[in-house]
Amino acid sequence: MKKSIYFILPLALATLFSGVTAASYHPDRLPNRSTEKYGTKHKAVRHHRHSKKQAKHSHDKIFYSAKFAEAIRMQKLANTYREVEDFDNAIRYLDRSRKVLLQFSKDFSARYWLAVNDEMLGYVYRDMDDIPNAKKYIKRALDVFTVIIKQDDGTPLPLELIYRELDSPNVEYVSTPPPVISCKGASDGRIVNYDNQKLQSLPILADDIENLSLSGNRFKEIPAGLYSLENLAVLNLSHNKLRDANLFFKSARDLVWLDLSNNRIRTLSGDFSKMQNLRYLDLSNNSLKTLPEGLEKLKSLETLKLRGNKIPFDVISNLIRQLPKANIEHDIYELKKPQTTIQEDVEE
């Protein structure tokens, strides 16, 4: 009997000890009060950690979004500086944007905007006439775009054309040369072409010039040197950077052909009613909201191009009535159908 007790007692103690040990390491397995309390506390700790981790993830996401948006904003600001030819600030903001984007370089969006950053740097150096650097950054952007953009009509297609143009230093703008208008006593010396020369000021010209082309330069206003050209009949100032064009000069009265297209003209000063010889006028692709004074009185006008501006339709339609013989090219306007009121619907 004693032997049995001695045998059973250690076994019972071992079983009891193993149960306590199990309770210590596996609280969820034993449904007593103490383990239930421990299990609830354990779950609360896990929930707290999860919430804290989730909050951190949310904060990181907001921080990432804010920093990313700031990088894009700096790129847009850089492009604005490039437009006004403040190249130092353009490069500075592109560099700041790049440093931010590099923090997220594994992200697809960051890779895309880093390529845009290179593309814009290429444009800055192109405008600075630094062709080697322009080619370097355009090529770097092109390599990335070719990998990450799959559609056939995506960014790589036009960017490839831009890169090829950089390889051809003589090609800057594709502009149609002005026609040679037959004038009294016209000769080769009176027909002058300074297209695509990056001019910002007018070279010394002979007073008897009759046909002058200055397309693809960097004039921000109509050159004062034109005021003395009394025999001028043809003037091409397309693809420049004109903003406010002033045509108050004597020789403008005798113009037959005038091209001011593809500039940034917002206002056009001058009384066109005095330019009675004008037969061709191109004002397309500017920022005009109104027509210049006296334009409706040009009865000799044969061709008038107004596409790519912001001129209201009622102004265009009124001009068409006043110049019935002129071929007027303008934007396509959508006529909105007038909405009927509830009262009108009831009456019908």
348 in a structural domain = no
pLDDT at 281: 94
pLDDT level of residue 311 (50, 70, 90 thresholds)? very high
pLDDT at 46: 55
Where residue 153 sits, what CATH number does that domain have? 1.25.40.10
pLDDT higher at 235 or 43: 235
161 in a structural domain = yes
**248 and 122, same structural domain?**
no
Domain edge (last residue) among 135, 167, 199: 167
The pLDDT of residue 17 is above 90: no
Do 283 and 260 contact (CB within 8 A), yes or no? Answer: yes
pLDDT at 236: 94
184 in a structural domain = no
Measuring CA to CA, which residue among 69, 81, 82, 64 is closest to residue 123?
Answer: 82
**215 and 159, same structural domain?**
no
pLDDT at 309: 92
3-state SS assignment for residue 160 = helix
Query: Where do we find the tokens 């800057």?
Result: 172
pLDDT higher at 196 or 184: 196
Residue partners of 139: CB distance under 8 A and separation at least 6: 163
pLDDT digits (tens, 9 = 90+) for 74-108: 888 888 888 888 888 999 999 998 988 888 777 77
**325 and 225, same structural domain?**
yes
pLDDT at 25: 42
Q: How far apart are CA 235 and CA 252, in angstroms?
A: 9
pLDDT level of residue 185 (50, 70, 90 thresholds)? very low
**107 and 151, same structural domain?**
yes
145 in a structural domain = yes
9 in a structural domain = no
**252 and 213, same structural domain?**
yes
**295 and 204, same structural domain?**
yes
Residue partners of 327: CB distance under 8 A and separation at least 6: 302, 303, 304
pLDDT at 254: 84
The pLDDT of residue 127 is above 50: yes
**275 and 310, same structural domain?**
yes
Domain count across the chain: 2
Q: Which domain holds residue 292?
A: 189-329
**281 and 206, same structural domain?**
yes
Q: How far apart are CA 289 and CA 283, in angstroms?
A: 12
> Exposed, middle or buried, 210 (CB in 10 Å: 0-12/13-18/19+)?
buried
pLDDT digits (tens, 9 = 90+) for 197-207: 889 888 888 88
Do 284 and 306 contact (CB within 8 A), yes or no? Answer: yes
Q: What is the mean pLDDT of residues 109-138?
A: 86
Give ∠ CA 79-82-85 in degrees, rounded to 5. Answer: 160
47 in a structural domain = no
**249 and 218, same structural domain?**
yes
**289 and 193, same structural domain?**
yes
37 in a structural domain = no
> Exposed, middle or buried, 290 (CB in 10 Å: 0-12/13-18/19+)?
middle
pLDDT level of residue 212 (50, 70, 90 thresholds)? very high
- Averaged pLDDT of the chain: 75
Of 64-73, 300-309, 317-326, which range is least confident? 64-73
**161 and 206, same structural domain?**
no
Residue 323, number of CB atoms within 10 A of its CB:
18
pLDDT higher at 306 or 134: 306
The pLDDT of residue 4 is above 70: no
301 in a structural domain = yes
**210 and 123, same structural domain?**
no
The pLDDT of residue 27 is above 60: no
Where residue 225 sits, what CATH number does that domain have? 3.80.10.10
Q: What is the mean pLDDT of residues 264-280?
A: 87
pTM of this prediction? Answer: 0.50
Residue partners of 206: CB distance under 8 A and separation at least 6: 189, 190
